[in-house]
């Protein structure tokens, strides 16, 4: 069974850097095809994909956020760490991490399952 859980601060000040950790079990990021995606959702609004990390350390970022993002993995700890710089109130959202596997069955190539999400509020 695959599970993921996001952790980190729930309140950050404008201009600060946000660091979130996605801790997971049931798969390994040393396995070919495995990956973790990051998706966020402002309160009452739609989902927005913004980052993705593959098992081979390939990374993809949303063009609109690319200059502010870094994702890294700690394979031994089964964790993925997201950093987002220069936080602004418009970045207030629930942040989710989700599993995918490009080399498994077709179903696995999609974001499934997701973590429970963490609501991050940006306010002074």
Partner 1 sequence: EIVLTQSPATLSLSPGERATLSCRASQSVSNYLAWYQQKPGQAPRLLIYDASNRATGVPARFSGSGSGTDFTLTISSLEPEDFAVYYCQQRSNWPRTFGQGTKVEI
Cβ proximity to partner 1: between 1 and 124 the closer is 1
From the list 20, 29, 52, 93, which residue makes contact with partner 1 (rule: CB under 8 A)?
Answer: 52
63 binds partner 1 per the rule CB under 8 A: yes
Q: How far is the CB of 48 from partner 1 (least distance, A)?
A: 7
Report yes or no: 113 and 60 within 8 Å, Cβ to Cβ: no
103 binds partner 1 per the rule CB under 8 A: no
Among 9-17, 27-35, 39-47, 81-89, which window interacts with partner 1 (CB under 8 A)?
39-47
60 binds partner 1 per the rule CB under 8 A: yes
Contacts with partner 1, residue ranges (CB under 8 A): 37, 39, 46-50, 52, 60, 62-63, 96, 106-107, 109-117
């Amino acid at each position: 069974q695959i599970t993921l859980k996001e952790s980190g601060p729930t309140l950050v000040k404008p201009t600060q850097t946000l660091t979130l950790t996605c801790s997971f079990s049931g798969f390994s990021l040393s396995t070919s095809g495995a990956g973790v995606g990051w998706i966020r959702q402002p309160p009452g609004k739609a989902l927005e994909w913004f980052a993705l990390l593959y098992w081979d350390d390939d990374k993809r970022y949303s063009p609109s956020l690319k200059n502010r993002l870094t994702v890294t993995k700690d394979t031994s700890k089964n964790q993925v760490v997201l950093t987002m710089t220069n936080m602004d109130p418009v970045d207030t959202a629930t942040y989710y991490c989700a599993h995918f596997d490009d080399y498994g069955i077709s179903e696995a190539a999609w974001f499934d399952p997701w973590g429970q999400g963490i609501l991050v509020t940006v306010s002074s």
